[in-house]
Structure 1
Amino acid sequence: MDEVQVERILQNPKFKEMVSRKSKLSWTLTIIMLVIYVSFMLLVGYNKEFLMSSFSGGVTTWGIPLGLGIIVLSFVLCGVYSYIANNTFDQLSAEAMKEVEAITHQKTSASQSNANQG
């Protein structure tokens, strides 16, 4: 592929839409995870008494389910990203690839016809 083809691909509206939507989703999920994680760290730093208190009257403290919840949340967010990527981004990617192949095919056809004429 030459620079002209690459530029046409980068300017393709479907390619731009896919990149934009993927970026928005990635940043949204990243911010969610960061807010939850930083909130937990602030809780550890500034309210240890709450985390050390028992929520059931036994030996299990609030820190254990909250910590496990953060781990589970990270898996859930990965699942959300995978679900959306498989159902939305793959379709956009396939549409963009069809247009990219058309661009590449046009360039190849033009090159071959120029070679045949010369």
Structure 2
Amino acid sequence: MQSDVYQKIKDHPDFHSLVARRKSFALNLSAIVLVMYFAFILLVAFAPGVLAQPVAEGSVTTWGIPIGVFIIISSFLLTGIYVKRANTEFDEENQRIIDECLKG
């Protein structure tokens, strides 16, 4: 009985659409984070002087600090965006598909 329901869910056309949209969304957000991190590391490796420049004349804070903080905060925000969408749109769609398969 249980494997029957799982098969119905797997065969449901909306389930395939949901999986594709969720995967695409997750990959896009992951790509954004990876590009930010790799760009920062490449900047550290090949142009460290850029990050060593002071933010303002006479300042002890260099550009590396605000850029690093921006990357960390952006990562948290992108994670929050994914969680919000996963807990609303994706979960609601998933539950609708499950309900349809259990009825039929």
Question: Do these two structures clear the TM 0.5 threshold for a shared fold by scoring above it?
Answer: yes
The share of aligned pairs that are identical, in percent, is 34
* Contact 1:14/1:95, CA 8 A, preserved across alignment: no
Taking structure 2 as the reference length, the TM-score comes to: 0.89
> Which residue in 1 is equivalent to 2:15?
15
What RMSD in Å do the two structures reach over aligned CA positions?
A: 1.3
Query: Residue type matched to 1:33 in 2?
Result: V
* Contact 2:5/2:102, CA 8 A, preserved across alignment: no
Taking structure 1 as the reference length, the TM-score comes to: 0.80
> Which residue in 2 is equivalent to 1:94?
95
Count, aligned residues: 102
Matches of 1:82 and 1:100, distance apart in 2: 25
Give unmatched runs, 5+ long, in structure 2.
none
> Which residue in 2 is equivalent to 1:46?
46
In the TM superposition, residue 70 of structure 1 has moved relative to its aligned partner by: 0.7
Report which of the two structures shows the higher radius of gyration computed on alpha carbons. 1
Give unmatched runs, 5+ long, in structure 1.
104-118
> Where do residues 13-92 of structure 1 align in structure 2 (5 Å cutoff)?
13-57=13-57, 58-92=59-93
Instruction: Tell me the SS of whatever aligns to 1:82.
Output: helix
* Contact 1:55/1:62, CA 8 A, preserved across alignment: yes
Runs of 4+ in 1 over 3 A off after TM superposition: none
